[in-house]
Amino acid sequence: MCLCSYQEAKYILTETKILAPAYFILGGNKSGEGCVITRERKRSLDVYELDLKEDRWFVVETNYDRWKHPFFLDDRRSAAKTCLNQTTQENISLPTLYDTLSTKPVLNKLTVFTTLMDVTKGQFETYLRDCPDPCVGW
């Protein structure tokens, strides 16, 4: 099966039964193409999409359902949003995304790797990570 478009990939990730709950982060190569898909095994719970009309130019997923508060000791979501808003949409690049993902507590002792992708350029970078002390355990 060819996933030839963002819409086809989104359909497959939202409609196909899977083995375990998951979060899928999907980005396309056109403006406004991006979402976080929250899945149970048999169905999608939520599709949180970019919405430029609502000034939602990024989506963040930190392994907590977006409609729930994160565990109080593990609020990576707020830190990531703060970094992205300070960076601004005009300055987003793989290096600035890496900086966001390197900011504590987004980066923590349980972070194993960071992967950055640019679908338009076919660029795919993965980095093994270490969080130097002081660094939270999760």
CA distance 65 to 75: 12
Domain boundary among 36, 59, 82: 59
Is there a single domain that holds both residue 36 and residue 77?
no
Domain boundary among 59, 81, 98: 59
Domain boundary among 24, 41, 59: 59
Looking at the chain, the whole-number percentage of residues with pLDDT higher than 90 is: 93
127: domain range? 68-137
Alpha carbon of 27 to those of 6, 11, 74, 108: distances in Å?
Answer: 7, 13, 25, 25
Does residue 81 contact residue 60 with C-beta atoms inside 8 Å? yes
pLDDT in tens, the chain (138 residues): 566 899 999 999 999 999 999 999 999 999 999 999 999 999 999 999 999 999 999 999 999 999 999 999 999 999 999 999 999 999 999 999 999 999 999 999 999 999 999 988 999 999 999 999 999 887
Cα 133–chain centre separation: 25
Dihedral through CA 48, CA 51, CA 57, CA 60, nearest 10?
-10
